[in-house]
Structure 1
Amino acid sequence: MTERTLFSRSIGPLSRADIVRYAGAGGDFNPLHHDETFATRAGLGSVIAHGLLTAGLTGTALAEHVGPLRLRRYAVRYTGQVRPGDTLTITASEADGESDETMRIALEVTAAVEDSAARPVLTATAEVGR
């Protein structure tokens, strides 16, 4: 099957405030997400965004495109870290395995800081009702 891009959307750049707001909403105050000294000492170089923040932004973009009532399944795999200043690019394509009732969608998310190469940070699959 020839891959067909359904949509591509950029979000960001993400700020430290976005990450802290998500921590408050989600109740995850792990210092890796807000304490520069702690994150650096842990070997991360800087704070990182919550994986669920990235997954949530991706899922929201998908639901806005297909309609939230059509979204039946959504599964993610984290492949990289998202940092303050990153802009996420979400690309969704039709995937093999479609039926008369559902369409499978594959999503790839990359993050990039201005003037740098994009790096993969999340892959996902979704099942959408027709």
Structure 2
Amino acid sequence: MTASPADVVVGTELPEFVVRVTRADLVRYAGASGDFNPIHWSDRVATSVGLPGVIAHGMFTMAVAARAVTAWTGDPAGLVEYQVRFGRPVVVPDDDEGAEVTVRGKVGAVLENGRVRVDLTVTSGGEKVLSLARATVQLR
């Protein structure tokens, strides 16, 4: 579905967006971002600093949530403003399943000139991993 200004009101829900994150995804993201911190690939290092295991890069998780919004708008260039707070890490086990990140969104405000604010709920393993996640998008 591509959102259009005429169809969007406060309370409009975005389709649920689910992404499975594996260790292979973290390796690819590390290569693209240059962030090779061992907490993103070594259980030994991650647990030695008090983490429950290897965690996804925060910016990777943030990007997954942004993808949910741009998939809904059908226009990646329509993302005008985006903010999140990192609440909990996405723990990625060393198996073929990885971790599931689920993004749910709802239009929280209809602004001027075809813009809307989308409030996001981003969870993994039943826990909220991003808080105060909001995107402002320009609908066309």
- TM score, norm. by length of structure 1: 0.87
Unaligned segments of structure 1, at least 5 residues:
113-117
The aligned amino acid for 1:73 is E
- Provide the aligned C-alpha RMSD in A: 1.7
Asked if the contact 1:7/1:93 (under 8 Å) is kept, the reply is no
| 1:75 equivalenced with 2:83 (yes/no) | yes
| 1:98 equivalenced with 2:111 (yes/no) | yes
Unaligned segments of structure 2, at least 5 residues:
1-8, 93-97
Asked if the contact 1:10/1:87 (under 8 Å) is kept, the reply is yes
* Paired residues, number: 124
Which of 37, 40, 49 is the aligned partner of 2:47?
40
C-alpha deviation, 1:97, in angstroms: 5.6
Paired residue secondary structure (1:6): coil
* Greater than 3 Å deviation, 4+ residue runs: none
What are the within-5 Å matches in structure 2 for residues 45-124 of structure 1? 45-66=52-73, 67-84=75-92, 85-96=98-109, 98-112=111-125, 118-123=126-131, 124=133
Identity fraction in percent: 35
Asked if the contact 2:10/2:110 (under 8 Å) is kept, the reply is no
Deviates more, 1:51-60 or 1:90-99: 90-99
